[in-house]
Structure formats: C-alpha cells, structure tokens
Structure 1
Amino acid sequence: MPSFYDQLQSRRAARKSTLGEVARLIGMAPSNLTTALSGKHDVRASTLEAIGAALDAEWVLVPREHLLAVRRLIEGKDSGPDREAKTSVEMFLEQAS
C-alpha cells in the first residue's frame, strides 16, 4: 500500500490541484507544503487535516483488525456487490420469455 504521503500526492494529482493552490487554501507557503508532503519531516496533525480538507479527503485511524478490509476497499478490490447487476432470477426470467 502506498505511504500516506504518496496517497496525498496521488489525491492532489487526481484533483489536478497544484501545490500552490493547495498551499493557498490552507494558508501555507508552497515551499513549506512541499516540505510537509515530502514525508521527510514530521508534520502537525492539524496541517495534515488542513491538507486533507483542501483535497476533499480525510485521514482516519484504522484499527488493525480492519486494515486489510480498508486497504482492499481503497484498491477497489472489495467494493461490495454490484447493485446494478441483474439477479440470477431476473436473468432466468429473461431467458424464459
């Protein structure tokens, strides 16, 4: 699974947000944001919360017993049943008619 900082970078790229835009939204100098996103320095939780909010995302604490399920969900491998798919009964009735 990608690191937290890699996930922040991916989220920023997915939203097509520049570092300058995110920095402006959270009131931080772009150079300080670059340092924060590098993952090489400790960053305050409030800063991470602000970055997450600017990227329309949140960071959460996941209990270890649920970590695998959360990872699978994030990777799109465990998204649940396809509610739009036809049931076997519906497919049978279509074939019968």
Structure 2
Amino acid sequence: MSLIPQIKARQQSLGKTTRDIAKMVAMAPSNATNSLSGKIDVRASTLEAFAGALDAKWVLVPRHLMPEVERLLSGKSIGPDDVPSAAQRFLDGEK
C-alpha cells in the first residue's frame, strides 16, 4: 500500500477529518485535501507532517523485509506458524 492510502486509513481509524489534520500541520484545508487526494505532488516534509499529526512515523522498509512488517502490522506474531508457544511447550512437558 502506498503512503497516501496509509495516511487516509490512519486518519479514518483515528476519526480525524482532513480539516483536523490541516490545522495540526498549519496548512490550508484545501491544500491538505489536494495533497491527500493525489491532485498535487506532495513534498516529503508534508507527508512527514501528516504522519506526525496522526501519531505515526513514515519509514522506509527494504523490500525483502516487507512480508515481516506486513505480518507484524496485521497483528500476527513474527516467526514460523508451526512453533509452539512457551505455554504449549510447558503443557507438553518440554524443557
């Protein structure tokens, strides 16, 4: 998912309007709307400001690490699915 859709998803999850975000980054609401709609090419500093206003951080993730990042963000544990939990190992009598 590209950055603008991620910002919009975060905005929606927090219940913030574009006007709210514009106010937090000291931008005219119309400029924020145009920036978030993709109508204009947005500067990196503007995207960083939007992320900051949404209590988020913009990071660059190497492509080979994306599966792990996406898995973490989805709420799934990191690591092989077939590894028993510590509780299960305890119940099974493993040391």
TM-score (norm 2): 0.78
Give the Cα separation in 1 of the matches to 2:88 and 2:30.
54
| Aligned residue in 2 for 1:22 | 21
User: How many residue pairs end up in the alignment?
Assistant: 88
What letter corresponds to residue 88 of structure 1 in structure 2? R
- Percent of aligned positions that are identical: 47
Q: What's the CA shift for 1:92?
A: 4.8
| Pair 1:63 & 2:58 matched | no
Q: CA RMSD of the aligned region, Å?
A: 2.1
Q: Distance in 2 between matches of 1:75 and 1:38?
A: 25
Cα distance in structure 2, aligned partners of 1:80 and 1:65: 15
Structure 2: gaps of 5 or more residues: 80-84
Q: Following superposition, which runs of at least 4 residues in structure 1 exceed 6 angstroms of deviation?
A: none
Q: Where does residue 46 of structure 2 map in the other structure?
A: 47
The one-letter amino acid paired with 1:21 is D
SS of aligned partner of 2:87 = coil
Superposed, 1:25-40 pairs within 5 Å as: 25-40=24-39
CA apart distance, 1:68: 2.0
**Alignment partners' CA distance in 2, 1:9 and 1:85:** 38
